[in-house]
Amino acid sequence: MKIARTDVWLVETPATGRTPNRYGTVTRLKRAIIRLEDEDGNEGWGEILRGVAKRLEEPATADPLASIDALADFTGQPAARSGLETAILDLMGNESGRPLSDWLGGEKRRELAMDSPLGLLSREEAVEKIRRSLDAGVSTFKLKVGMDVENDAERVLGIRKAYPEGVRLRIDANGGFRSDEALRFCARIGDSTVEHFEQPVGPGEEECLETFRKIRAMGIPVAVDESLFTPDDARRLIKEEAADVAVIKLIKCGGPLAAREIAGIFADAGKTAVFSSPYESFIAKAAGVAVALAMDDDGRAQELDHMVPESDFAEWRHRLSGGKLLRGEGAGHGARGLCRRLDALSSRAS
């Protein structure tokens, strides 16, 4: 495969409908959208940095996938690497007429259950959003905590009182609690069944892994996000008996191949993974969908539907219906940018 052309658009769009978390509320999203084209006109789409992408046109780059790490130092830039790998795999899929999942072990399912984010909504607001979402077929919800032990516990207990059954509730502190606070919070919510507690404390907390183990001993499954970037992180967390669920973001781990490896490490240990893509466009989300489709279905909802309106500059072949993402037939990862709209929205790189 020889890449004959690269195009990059620098896009900034409003982030409407975003739910807040302890990091604040995102109001605008800045992204770089890449299109690769081979000599036969096949395309590959990703989200990437311009300078690295242009080097793929160099004559010596005969095997782009194998050459990624020779193009630049991606240390501290896993999102840039992920976007580039995604575009190359998408191009390979479109060139061969095969879905991206074929490079990840093959598709094992054709649909994915989706969750709905509640952010830091108050108890009353969260209960109302859950009611509306249940009517639309969504039954898994993600509530942000990590701000105040008592208030956060009251929100969890209030939701459980309103919906004792029929709702899967996962909670995420984004590492906002100290160890003692996380343990007090867990004691406070008691047996208010939660699907998992994501990142109770930050990875920099001195007793981080011990806190995870104590929470697991209380009967609350622990999910890891900020503690999980690489396959080595995954192996360490499992060895330390500190996690039950991997929350995998392609922009953190460097691309679909590493994401699949991390998910496989957790699966081999009898654990599970959730794929998350909260801020990316359809283009990057489609790569997450491809990885999730290559994993066995354990009934757990994915976090790939935290959508902002993307119809302005991108489209995908997948369809959302009744709280599920239904896989669309076709090659590659199934998403593409709309070139004319991208031209109008951005400063285009040539």
Active site residues: 144, 249
Query: What percentage of the chain's residues is helix, strand, coil (to nearest 5)?
Result: 40, 25, 40
**What are the phi and psi torsion angles at 7 (to 5°)?**
-125, 140
User: What are the residue ranges of helices labelled H in 7-148?
Assistant: 50-54, 64-71, 78-96, 123-135
Neighbours of 51 (CB within 10 A): 12
In whole angstroms, what is the distance from residue 157 CA to residue 163 CA? 10
CA-wise closest residue to 265 among 243, 235, 245: 235
Contact 129, 118 (CB under 8 A): yes
Give residues with Cβ within 8 angstroms of 46, minimum separation 6.
33, 34, 36, 82, 83, 84, 85, 86, 87, 88, 90, 283, 284, 287
For residue 258, give the amino acid letter.
Answer: A
Contact 333, 90 (CB under 8 A): yes
- Inter-helix orientation angle 78-96/64-71, to 10°: 160
In whole angstroms, what is the distance from residue 134 CA to residue 322 CA? 9
In whole angstroms, what is the distance from residue 144 CA to residue 198 CA? 9
In whole angstroms, what is the distance from residue 33 CA to residue 256 CA? 17
